[in-house]
A and B are shown apart, each in its own frame.
Chain A
Amino acid sequence: MAGKIVADTLEHSTAGSIATNYVVNGSAKGWCSFDGTAGTPTFNDSFNGSSITDGGTGDQTMNLTNAMTDANYPASFLGNARSQFGTPTGSHPSASGCQIRSTNTSDSNADNSFVQIIFHGDLA
């Protein structure tokens, strides 16, 4: 691709330097935000996703275009609704996507109007 720069280190004039592998390894590899309260999820924006599988109330899976190298990557997600919180289920770890479960304070599944999912780790 045009504009390619190959460098092992980035150096700031006063703040010091950082190895570029910190940047590469530390960058998010995929993310999306969507409204989970409409009839079917509605995307706000995304990167490296191919689709969302809506599996029911508070149950969505983000499927990746460029899979992760294994299922041990860290994924995080947030939901905005008051009195709701989320925890990844961990029940279906996959290199190709991540399932989330949004719950209310009674630990019952509940949909969020602004869900954000973020993937870190190594790509396949």
Chain B
Amino acid sequence: MQTPEFQGTHLFDRLCWAKETLEAVQSDYRVVYEDSIDECAKILVPDPNWMACALQGGILPPVWVYWELAKDEAQPDFKKHMRGHLLHQTEPIGPMTEEEAIEYLIQKDVPQHVWQNINDGNKPRLVICTKQQLPQTREWRNAWQISDDLATAA
């Protein structure tokens, strides 16, 4: 299935097309990260419909668009997004592999202070793993941490 020429098309319309056209892709990848030493590890789970868009290409904006919007939202006087057009008018990026999509998702949905300082500190703060490598039940969920001796997947 060829992606239509979407540059300049509202991102929401592109997502509508994708929802109607593409098969959702359940990824086995999970991203485990520690946002704060006072909180348990967080797990990022990719949305299957989003993953289908990422693999298809021509739908999602480049990740820097989200960084720009995040910068705007971090301003103390932020009221509303005035640069939402970046989502719609920036040329969509091409197809990604599943691994590239996970890297994109980390840079979009994981706090920047986590992935920008991934090699700082005495232990990994972010690990990419598979669903099967995580506990299969939520027993003691609020005590989950990244193991000290776990090598980072970078």
Contact = CB atoms under 8 A, between A and B. Distances in A.
Interface of A: 1, 29, 32, 37-43, 45-57, 63, 65-67, 69-71, 94-97, 109, 111, 123-124
Q: Nearest 7 CB-CB pairs, A to B?
A: A124-B84, A70-B80, A124-B81, A49-B47, A54-B43, A39-B136, A63-B109
Interface of B: 4, 9, 11-13, 15, 17, 19, 24, 26, 30, 39-40, 42-50, 53, 60, 66, 69-70, 73, 78-81, 84, 87, 105, 108-109, 131, 134-138, 141-142, 144
A63 to B, nearest CB: 4
Contact of B30 (A40, A48, A94, A95): A40
Contacts of A124: 69, 81, 84, 87
Given A40-B30, A124-B87, A65 B15 contact: yes
B138 A57 contact: yes
Nearest to B138: A111
Contacts of A32: 47
Contacts of A47: 15, 19, 49
Contacts of B48: 43, 46
A43 B46 CA distance: 9
Contacts of A97: 109
A50 B105 contact: yes
B7 to A, nearest CB: 12
A109 B4 CA distance: 44
